[in-house]
């Protein structure tokens, strides 16, 4: 791959991430379920368990699709599934319709997760810039967050003017544009897709982290934090509803913590240097994340909800991306999509198991729930001190 080809791929990749982030429905998810569809908050989390079950079930097989037949096609199929899912989701407020749409969303997410980062990292490797992965992937994450930042306030206005299902329908448009954007892309090839058949690729990629026991503390730590911080998105909206915050402010609150996510993601390298190394930076992020949850547990108020969004959302939701950027250097190209999908699968398992519990606790035990999430994050810090030092070389 020439430098000019890499530049073209990189620009398209950033644009793809921006389009993926245009979730106009993100700031009105809970009202869409509770007000438009008439579901309880517990039922909403059960629906999400259905999503994560399918995301778990489909994650690794679809990651292997990317490794075996190409990351470009996996991304196109994933974005196409997202288009259909969004149109179905916003059509009729029925549980059966929602479950079908969530299945399509899970399929789309599974097809795109792992494949997008594998595509970018292999391009970096081909032009000899893989040592810049943390910086480049942080910037790509910032573009994805920019899409969320742009769309969240718009989604709130659209919901107020045209109905709570309108932002979901609108979200099909950027997903369709993403398919068109990826179509002409020429992806890098660092390995022969015919070296292993589908089942060999699936087996080797799935077992990769299992065989690398030195990486277990890193993987478990990142998974626990990703599961805990996932609930920031689902908790702040019911909190605002109970505090009688107008729905038009939901999008701005979402944009608020997304701006912080963008700043953190785009400055991974600089922040690592400021804190004196990766481990110290990770510990600092996890402490801030726990403090965000604890602030609401101690005193539920719209101000402490914003504190939670800033710390647990702005910092905590970037943590997995930071860790994952480093893990790429241990994974061979032929197994990269499947191995990264394995990490996403672990998150899906955790979220599927916790969603019913969180759904029940949202109703009447919000403060204990916040304390429990803070405890999860703090407990995971101890795993960082069992992780291998940076100088440890793990053979592929």
| Confidence band, pLDDT 50/70/90 cuts, at residue 387 | low
Phi, psi of 301 (to 5 degrees): -160, 155
Sign of the CA dihedral running 146, 141, 219, 375: negative
| Confidence band, pLDDT 50/70/90 cuts, at residue 194 | very low
Which residues, including other chains, have CB under 8 Å from residue 207's CB and lie 6 or more apart? none
Angle, CA 209 vertex, CA 61 and CA 60 arms, to 5°: 10
pLDDT above 90: residue 98: yes
Of the segments 46-55, 111-120, 187-196, which one has the largest average pLDDT value?
A: 46-55
| pLDDT per residue as tens digits for the range 141-182 | 888 888 988 898 899 889 989 999 999 999 999 999 999 998
Q: Angle at which helices 133-162 and 250-266 pack, to 10 degrees?
A: 170
Q: Note the pLDDT of residue 362.
A: 84
pLDDT above 50: residue 34: yes
Alpha carbon separation from 320 to 190, 262, 268, 336, 381 (Å, rounded): 26, 14, 12, 16, 13
Question: Mean pLDDT over all residues of the chain?
Answer: 83
Q: Which two tokens stand for residue 305?
A: 């909800």
Pairwise CA distance, residues 226 & 317, whole Å: 7
Alpha carbon 80 to its chain's center:
18
Q: Note the pLDDT of residue 255.
A: 84
Q: Are 356 and 43 in contact (CB under 8 A)?
A: no
Helices and strands, number each (H, E), in the chain: 19, 0
Residue 185, number of CB atoms within 10 A of its CB = 17
Q: Are 274 and 268 in contact (CB under 8 A)?
A: no
Pairwise CA distance, residues 122 & 191, whole Å: 10
Mean pLDDT of 15-43: 88
| pLDDT per residue as tens digits for the range 310-365 | 999 999 998 988 887 777 677 766 666 666 667 777 787 888 888 888 888 887 78
Which residues, including other chains, have CB under 8 Å from residue 183's CB and lie 6 or more apart? 76
Q: Which of these ranges, 53-67, 192-206, 261-275, 292-306, has the smallest mean pLDDT?
A: 192-206
pLDDT above 60: residue 198: no
Stated pTM of the model: 0.69
Go through the domains of the chain in sequence order and give each one's CATH number: 3-183+197-384 (1.20.1250.20)
Q: Are 289 and 311 in contact (CB under 8 A)?
A: yes
Q: Note the pLDDT of residue 394.
A: 44
62: nearest Cα among 333, 344, 332, 325: 344
Q: Which two tokens stand for residue 163?
A: 């109905």
More confident residue, 8 or 77: 77
Reduce the DSSP state of residue 145 to 3 states and report it.
helix
């Amino acid at each position: 791959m020439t430098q000019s080809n890499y530049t073209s791929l990189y620009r398209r990749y950033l644009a793809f991430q921006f389009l993926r982030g245009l979730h106009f429905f993100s700031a009105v998810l809970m009202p869409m379920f509770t007000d438009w569809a008439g579901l309880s908050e517990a039922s909403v989390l059960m629906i999400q368990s259905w999503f994560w079950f399918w995301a778990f079930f489909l994650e690794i097989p679809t990651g292997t699709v990317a490794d075996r037949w190409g990351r470009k096609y996996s991304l196109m199929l994933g974005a196409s599934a997202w288009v259909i899912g969004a149109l179905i989701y916003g059509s009729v407020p029925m549980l059966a319709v929602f479950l079908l749409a969530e299945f399509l969303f899970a399929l789309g997410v599974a097809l795109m997760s792992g494949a997008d980062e594998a595509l970018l990292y292999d391009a970096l490797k081909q032009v000899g810039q893989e040592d810049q992965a943390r910086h480049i992937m942080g910037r790509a994450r910032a573009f994805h967050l920019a899409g969320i930042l742009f769309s969240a306030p718009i989604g709130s206005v659209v919901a107020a003017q045209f109905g709570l299902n309108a932002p979901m329908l609108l979200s099909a448009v950027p997903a369709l544009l993403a398919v068109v954007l990826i179509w002409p892309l020429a992806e890098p090839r660092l390995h022969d897709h015919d070296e292993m058949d589908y089942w060999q690729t699936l087996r080797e990629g799935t077992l990769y982290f299992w065989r690398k026991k030195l990486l277990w503390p890193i993987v478990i730590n990142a998974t626990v934090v990703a599961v805990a911080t996932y609930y920031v998105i689902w908790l702040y909206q019911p909190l605002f509803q109970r505090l009688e915050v107008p729905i038009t402010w939901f999008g701005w609150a979402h944009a608020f913590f997304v701006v912080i996510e963008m700043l953190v993601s785009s400055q991974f390298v600089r922040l690592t240097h400021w804190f004196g190394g990766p481990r110290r930076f990770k510990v600092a992020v996890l402490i801030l994340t726990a403090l965000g949850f604890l602030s609401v547990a101690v005193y539920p108020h719209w101000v402490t909800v914003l504190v939670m969004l800033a710390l647990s959302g702005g910092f905590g939701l970037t943590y997995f991306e930071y860790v994952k950027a480093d893990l790429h250097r241990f994974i061979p190209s032929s197994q990269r999509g499947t191995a990264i999908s394995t990490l996403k699968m672990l998150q899906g398992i955790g979220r599927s198991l916790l969603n019913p519990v969180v759904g029940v606790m949202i109703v009447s035990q919000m403060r204990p729930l916040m304390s429990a999430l803070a405890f999860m994050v703090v407990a995971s810090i101890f795993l960082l001190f069992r992780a291998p030092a940076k100088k440890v070389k793990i053979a592929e």
